[in-house]
């Protein structure tokens, strides 16, 4: 019987090994940036074309390589960092396995020019699919320049799995951001298709955060510092009121290496306990310095997951550091010991207030009006501004049944003038089967969702011009996402254009929505879109329609007069599915007469 096991050719083995290291263009950016940092560079430039599919080039002013080192750097497991196994437990550099350049060269065309500091000439090396095509002396600047062209050109199947340019560029920006945050002492530049996306001078961590995420973060950051005998935690955390619905701006750096850790993230959230609105996540950039002997960085191919020999201690120090930072900057709630605790309730600034409390507060703060018959004049302007563009059915009889079991549409239509609102949250009305109870926010969300679905399908969103253009500063990832979705967002009714590095100018917003909150609405749309993306499997149009409906729907306590309430009910029961909100929550129910009678039995 013939033998079945055989050695793979080097070319195939290299391509398989490349799968662990080079998953997409962003992987190339990460590996080359880390090599530049390890080489002692103080200035690093990244040039990307077609989201890295045609070119990723990283230029640094580091130590450079000799002719022999340049050639050996493309061999597998060739490294200057490791001499014996014990060295793995004293690693302070980024790359150490000697796999990066070998793996990249196995699936791309690579040109490297490198010159040592003080040398007259450098070395030019050309490698394609692991094969060295040329090596010759060259004149170049001190440091190293590596150009990776036509990634996966020799593995078309792998190339077909790459996403759109917008998605791939967002991954590149994420990797660039992580390395730039971990090394604020190094100047970074990023060019995308010959346009400068970032120009980050060397400086302090706070300056680097503002350079990456925008000037708005200047007011959100709280400095964090905690030092013990074995571990030091420094960095910045965000104020609770600036927390967002989605994760994405949380960064841990251990010995200048970006890592992901749900365990340490929990430590941060624990420190914020009682300060955050439910389901929100704070911003933080925390740098952890610890003896490498207490850390194992070799547990994951991309080295983004590590292990500590004493995770509990690290957890406790991080939690203490964040709590101390929040308390020092008067963000933590304080207790008034002069108050009588039997008659006073303590609340954090972000604690939610119930509908009944809010309604009572609004009621008791209304001044006496000697002429209550003319209240409409007093609040007329507010009512005018709060009008919502509901589209009631022109012919109720022509509207299909809403699908409520055993109920026709006419049975759910209240008589004119009978609907009333409760606590700014529900619309109630007597109908044939009993008492109709409708959640206003969910109903409006359903109406808007179906409208936006239609607009996205037809690419025909109605826009209303803003009185003044509104400028919105976005972080790099959100900016890439917005530009990727520009066509779809325009179909919703937003008209905008790029402005500056990562800003946009909104010139128009969807028709029928109250003016004046364009910035909040746009930022909310992007946050909700990202949240949906992490939690649900949705198409882009469906995700955008849900996100836009969620963020622009009527909110609890928002003014709504009787005419608008009636129009909302008509619009709801003209929907294809008026029974449920887009996320599956029930919109209305019928409190039938028997159930009402039972309440009194």
Predicted confidence at residue 19, as pLDDT, reads: 55
Phi first, then psi, for residue 450 (nearest 5°) are: -70, -35
- What CATH code is carried by the domain that includes residue 324? 3.30.230.10
Query: Considering the domain boundaries, does residue 277 fall inside one?
Result: yes
The domain containing residue 558 runs over which residues?
Answer: 383-601
**Total residues found in the chain within this entry:** 601
pLDDT confidence of residue 382 = 36
Lowest mean pLDDT among 16-30, 138-152, 517-531, 569-583: 16-30
- Inform me whether the pLDDT recorded for 113 exceeds 90: yes
Highest mean pLDDT among 325-339, 380-394, 522-536: 522-536
Shared domain for 41 and 83, answered yes or no, is yes
171 and 234: one domain?
Answer: no
Give dist(CA 208, CA 231) in Å, integer.
23
Q: Is residue 359 part of a domain?
A: no
Q: Give per-residue pLDDT as tens, 409-427.
A: 566 667 666 788 888 888 8
More confident residue, 229 or 299: 229
Q: Same domain, yes or no, for 281 and 198?
A: no
Task: Mark which of 288, 307, 328 sits at the end of a domain.
Answer: 328
How confident is the model at residue 515, as a pLDDT? 76
Angle, in degrees to the nearest 10, between helices 562-572 and 440-458? 60
Q: Order the strands of the 131-138 sheet from edge to edge.
A: 131-138, 122-128, 109-115, 143-149, 55-60, 43-49, 187-192, 195-200
Give the pLDDT of residue 556: 82
Query: What residue has token string 């020799």?
Result: 154
Number of domains in the chain: 3
Identify whether residues 282 and 406 lie together within a single domain: no
CA distance 486 to 483: 5
Mean pLDDT of the chain: 79
pLDDT in tens, 528-550: 888 888 777 888 899 999 999 99
Query: In this model, does residue 286 exceed pLDDT 80?
Result: yes
Least confident of 94-108, 184-198, 220-234: 94-108
> Of 122, 135, 144, whose CA–CA distance to 33 is shortest?
144
Residue with tokens 């969702």: 449
Distance CA 451, CA 441 (A): 15
Is the separation of the CB atoms in 61 and 142 below 8 Å? yes
Given a cut of 50, is residue 399 above it in pLDDT?
Answer: no
Find, among 228, 287, 301, 298, the residue nearest to 254 by Cα. Answer: 287
Q: Is the domain of 28 the same as that of 140?
A: yes
CATH number of the domain enclosing 33:
3.30.565.10
pLDDT of residue 355: 36
pLDDT at residue number 537: 80
Quick one: 429 and 578 in the same domain? yes
467 pLDDT band, cuts 50/70/90, is confident
Q: What is the per-residue pLDDT for 12? A: 66
pLDDT confidence band for 368 (50 / 70 / 90): very low
pLDDT at 120 over 50: yes
267/168 same-domain check: no
533: Cα within 13 Å, side-chain hemisphere = 14
CB 50 within 8 A of CB 167: no
Residue 251: enclosing H or E segment and its boundaries?
A: strand 250-254
Percent of the chain predicted with pLDDT > 70: 78
Predicted local confidence at residue 348, as pLDDT: 36
In the predicted structure, residue 342 carries a pLDDT above the cut 70: no
Claim to verify: residue 199 and residue 246 sit in the same structural domain: no
Q: Report the CATH number at residue 566.
A: 3.30.1370.100
- Whether residue 387 lies inside any domain: the answer is yes
Q: Are 130 and 272 within one domain?
A: no
Whether 4 maps to a domain, the answer reads no
More confident residue, 474 or 191: 191
Averaged pLDDT, 238-262: 87
What pLDDT, on the 0 to 100 scale, is given for residue 235? 95
pLDDT at 167 over 90: no
Residue 459 in 3-state DSSP?
A: coil
Identify the pLDDT of residue 398.
Answer: 35
pTM of the model: 0.68
Cα–Cα distances (Å) from 144 to 61, 127, 256, 508, in that order, read 7, 15, 21, 47
- Is 334 inside any structural domain? no
Per mean pLDDT, which of 58-62, 480-484, 595-599 is the most reliable?
A: 58-62
């Amino acid at each position: 019987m013939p033998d079945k096991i055989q050695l793979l050719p080097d070319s195939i083995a290299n391509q398989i090994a490349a799968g662990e290291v080079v998953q997409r263009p962003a992987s190339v950016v990460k590996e080359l940036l880390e090599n530049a940092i390890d080489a002692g560079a103080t200035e690093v430039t990244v040039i990307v074309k077609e989201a890295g599919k045609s070119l990723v080039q990283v230029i640094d002013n580091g130590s450079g390589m000799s002719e022999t080192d340049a050639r050996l750097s493309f061999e597998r497991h060739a490294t200057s960092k490791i001499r014996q196994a014990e060295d793995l437990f004293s690693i302070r550099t980024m790359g150490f396995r000697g796999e990066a350049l070998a793996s990249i060269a196995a699936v791309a065309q690579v040109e490297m020019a490198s010159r040592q500091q003080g040398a007259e000439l450098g070395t030019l090396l050309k490698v394609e699919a692991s094969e060295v095509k040329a090596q010759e002396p060259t004149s170049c600047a001190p440091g190293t320049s590596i150009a990776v062209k036509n990634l996966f050109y020799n593995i078309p199947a792998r190339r077909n799995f790459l996403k759109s340019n917008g998605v791939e560029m967002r991954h590149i920006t994420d990797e660039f951001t992580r390395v730039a945050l971990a090394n604020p002492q190094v100047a970074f530049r990023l060019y995308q298709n010959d346009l400068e996306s970032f120009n980050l001078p060397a400086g302090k961590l706070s300056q680097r955060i503002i350079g990456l995420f925008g000037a708005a973060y200047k007011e959100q950051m709280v400095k964090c510092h905690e030092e013990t005998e074995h571990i030091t935690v420094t960095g910045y955390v965000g104020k609770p009121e600036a927390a967002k619905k989605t994760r994405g701006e949380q960064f841990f750096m251990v010995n200048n290496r970006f890592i992901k850790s749900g365990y340490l993230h929990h430590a941060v959230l624990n420190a914020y306990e009682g300060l955050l609105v439910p389901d929100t996540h704070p911003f933080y950039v925390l740098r952890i310095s610890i003896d490498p002997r207490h850390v194992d960085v070799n547990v994951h191919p991309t080295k983004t997951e590590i292990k500590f020999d004493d995770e509990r201690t690290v957890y406790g120090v991080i939690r203490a550091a964040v709590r101390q930072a929040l308390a020092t900057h008067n963000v933590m709630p304080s207790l008034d010991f002069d108050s009588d605790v039997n008659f006073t309730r303590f609340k954090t600034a972000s604690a939610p207030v119930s509908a009944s409390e809010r309604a009572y507060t609004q009621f008791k703060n209304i001044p006496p009006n000697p002429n209550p018959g003319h209240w409409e004049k007093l609040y007329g302007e507010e009512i005018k501004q709060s009008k919502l563009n509901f589209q009631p059915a022109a012919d109720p009889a022509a509207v299909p049944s809403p699908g409520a079991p055993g109920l026709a549409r006419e049975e759910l239509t209240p008589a004119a003038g009978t609907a009333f609102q409760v606590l700014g949250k529900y619309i109630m009305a007597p109908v044939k089967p009993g008492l109709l109870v409708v959640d206003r926010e969910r109903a409006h969300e359903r109406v808007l969702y179906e409208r936006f679905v239609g607009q996205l399908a037809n690419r025909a969103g109605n826009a209303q011009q803003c009185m003044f253009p509104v400028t919105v500063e976005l972080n790099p990832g959100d900016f890439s996402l917005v530009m990727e979705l520009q066509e779809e967002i325009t179909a919703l009714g937003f008209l905008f254009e790029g402005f500056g590095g990562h800003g946009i100018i909104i010139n128009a917003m969807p028709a029928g929505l109250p003016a004046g909150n364009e910035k909040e609405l746009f930022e909310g749309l992007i946050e909700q879109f990202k949240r949906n993306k992490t939690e649900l499997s949705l198409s882009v149009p469906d995700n955008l329609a849900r996100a836009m409906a969620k963020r622009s729907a009527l909110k609890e306590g928002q003014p709504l007069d009787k005419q608008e309430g009636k129009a909302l009910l008509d619009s709801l029961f003209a929907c294809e599915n008026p029974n449920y909100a887009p996320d599956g929550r029930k919109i209305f129910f019928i409190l039938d007469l028997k159930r009402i009678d039972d309440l009194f039995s």
